[in-house]
Structure 1
Amino acid sequence: MLGWALTFLVVALIAALLGFGGIAGASAGIAKILFFIFLVLFVIAMIARAIKGKPPV
Structure 2
Amino acid sequence: MLGWALTFLVIALVAALFGFGGIAGAAAGIAKIIFFVFLVLLVISLVAGALRGKAPL
TM-score (norm 1): 0.96
Quick one: which amino acid aligns to residue 16 of structure 1? Answer: A
Cα offsets for 1:3-51 (capped at 9, x unmatched): 0000000000000000000000000000000000000000000000000
* Moved beyond 2 Å, runs of 4+: none
Unaligned stretches of 5+ in structure 1? none
Over the aligned positions, Cα root-mean-square deviation in angstroms equals 0.6
Matched-pair identity in %: 74
Report the number of matched residues.
Answer: 57
Q: What amino acid sits opposite 2:5 in the alignment?
A: A
Mark the runs of 5 or more structure 2 residues left unpaired by the alignment: none
Q: Distance in 2 between matches of 1:27 and 1:9?
A: 7
